[in-house]
Structure 1
Amino acid sequence: MEKKHTLSVLVENTPGALSRITGLFSGRGFNIDSLCVAETLDPTLSHLTLVTHGDDMIIEQIIKQLRRLIDVYRVVDVTGEGEFVEREMALIKVRAEKDTRAEVLRMCDIFRCKVVDVSPKTYTLEVTGPESKLKAVIELLRPIGIKEIVRTGIIAMQREKKSL
């Protein structure tokens, strides 16, 4: 059964490393739903969060192939390793003329969004949270008139054990 998997990959921060990882996916016909990469505390390493779909056998194959790449230090399927925290950020430019401004601001208040830019006819909102929250905000803003959306992609981190 296919399901969403979030992979956490620690990789060398070198030219071509990301290209080799994405090439592994495209070369085997796997899709990347979301990809987010940034430098870690150690500037020689990057943390890559990758979301893909597949059954357990396919994901196991992807992980094994990623581990074989010379640039890769660690690969963890955070969705299969216990509890984790995941977040995404979106910037949403929405129509905000006289008749819709109050409604947009009410939704911002309900979903704890930030208005990060204002023009005479639009508001640009910053929304951060789990993917389900972003989808809910987008669906509620759609009838008002979304002009543009830019999303970061999912980032994820395993939770620490809470027992002493």
Structure 2
Amino acid sequence: MSWQYRLAGAGDVDALRALIMEHGPNPWNWLPEDGVEHSLRQVAEGEAWAALFERDGLLGAAILYRLHDAFPLHRPAGVATEQAGYIMEAVVRRDQAGQGLGSLLLQQACDDLAARGAYWVVADRHEENAASGGMMRKAGFAELASFDDPERRAGGSRRSTVCGRRVG
């Protein structure tokens, strides 16, 4: 059976939490428990959305996103604050990595944000996270800027890279 795509509902929050906390941590990700809980609350309350791939009851990948102008300095001219989307978190089970699930979900999130009125979507990652960078490039994102981010990036260069793309 192939992976099935669907939007998550409030009833999926526990499964999303388990996936994020088990398969999200790596040397490049910043996943403070309170931040994850805040994002999941936003999904449960309909302020943000989550899309996922599942197969035979197994949650293989998920992405959390919302309408939010997270990096206004990088928003193109002509795109209003309320027309900006933000990718909050993306995670793929370690045993499913490299199959393109992340970039497919990222594209689905961009399509959904465009349907909700977004014209611009951004995401950020650790500057040295090659897997995340590849996923973003495959989904049409371009690198916009990198900056020192020692509060969120404990390893490597300790820098974040903002990536964005037009949608809609």
Q: Same fold (TM over 0.5)?
A: no
**Could you state the TM-score of these two structures normalised by the residue count of structure 2?**
0.27
More strand by share: 1
User: Which entry has the higher C-alpha Rg, 1 or 2?
Assistant: 1
> Taking CA–CA contacts closer than 8 Å with sequence separation of 6 or more, which of the two structures ends up with the larger relative contact order?
1
More helix by share: 2
**Could you state the TM-score of these two structures normalised by the residue count of structure 1?**
0.28
